């Protein structure tokens, strides 16, 4: 059985006081349970504080992006060395918002994925189609390209540790969720793509999340699907109660 990974992607939200309060509210309620892993993906300025607050607990802390270089003249960027040094465990890479607004490409996602492993960070690699691409029947070929490029050059062991998040762009922040069957179909396809570039054992082990308007009301149905191993959640991860309900759903 693959574990379920519930990651709350706060995006560009909260103040430090609100971020700290959120962690205080949830941290003692995250179960020590092999079936579920809980992560908050927080803005850079909160990471130091959240890592400190979550030490010795079951809540992990992720960044939402990073540069692929270790250091250098990249004004405004944050490196994998800095994240690792802070005690951050995960990093979201290739989120559709970064692809759309910040010129993230499959090539930079691949470089960042390698950089994450080089520095002991677990990448959460996001893939997914736009509405136009879905309507043009390009979903499967698009996610196939995104997954293959993101994983290019990784060892099977590294691929096993990678978390892949399938997030259809049209379902993000819109209240529209892919039906659980449609989401599962794409996640199953992603698993086949992983198998085609690695082997059966690797593809069976890799965690594939769904993201896009996941909330307590629809999470059970999504997580009941054969190939959906968790959720990357935006809006519904901002409130402590709702985040805890999602984590509890992962431990069912
Ligand atoms: O982009 C997402 C998570 O990374 C999904 O956001 P919403 O859950 O707000 O739709």
Strand partners for 122 = 90
Q: Residue 173 pLDDT more than 90?
A: no
**Residue 87 burial by Cβ neighbours in a 10 Å radius (0-12, 13-18, 19+):** middle
Mean pLDDT (whole number) for 213-225: 97
- Ligand 1 binding pocket includes 235 (Cβ within 6 Å): yes
Give dist(CA 179, CA 152) in Å, integer. Answer: 30
Q: Does pLDDT of 252 surpass 90?
A: no
Asked if residue 235 belongs to a known ligand binding site, the reply is yes
Helix (H, G, I), strand (E, B) or coil at 251: coil
Cα–Cα distance for residue pair 208/187, rounded to 1 Å: 7
d(CA 24, CA 5): 20
Q: Which atom of ligand 1 is nearest to the CA of 236?
A: 8
| Tens of pLDDT, residues 144-164 | 999 999 999 999 999 999 999
- The preferred substitution site among 213, 230, 237 for testing ligand 1, maximizing ligand atoms within 8 Å of CB, is 213
Q: CB of 172 closer than 6 A to ligand 1?
A: yes
Q: 0.80 cut: is pTM over it?
A: yes
């Amino acid at each position: 059985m693959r574990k379920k990974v519930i990651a709350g992607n706060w995006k560009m939200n909260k103040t430090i006081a609100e971020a700290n309060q959120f962690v205080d509210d949830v941290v003692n309620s995250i179960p020590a349970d092999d079936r579920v892993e809980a992560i908050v993906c927080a803005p850079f300025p909160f990471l130091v504080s959240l890592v400190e607050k979550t030490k010795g607990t079951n809540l992990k802390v992720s960044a939402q992006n990073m540069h692929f270089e270790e250091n250098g003249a990249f004004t405004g960027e944050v490196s994998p060395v800095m994240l690792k040094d802070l005690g951050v465990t995960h990093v979201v890479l290739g989120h559709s918002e970064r692809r759309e607004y910040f010129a993230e490409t499959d090539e930079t996602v691949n470089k960042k994925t390698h950089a994450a492993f080089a520095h002991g960070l677990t990448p959460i690699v996001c893939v997914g189609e736009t509405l136009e691409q879905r309507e043009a029947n390009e979903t499967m070929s698009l996610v196939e390209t995104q997954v293959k490029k993101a994983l290019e050059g990784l060892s099977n062991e590294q691929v096993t540790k990678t978390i892949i998040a399938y997030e259809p762009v049209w379902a993000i922040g819109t209240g529209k969720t892919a039906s659980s069957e449609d989401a599962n179909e794409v996640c199953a396809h992603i698993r086949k793509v992983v198998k085609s570039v690695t082997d059966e054992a690797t593809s069976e082990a890799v965690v594939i999340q769904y993201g896009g308007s996941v909330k307590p009301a629809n999470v059970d149905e999504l997580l009941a699907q054969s190939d959906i191993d968790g959720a990357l959640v935006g809006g519904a991860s901002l409130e402590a109660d709702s985040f805890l309900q999602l984590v509890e759903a992962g431990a069912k």
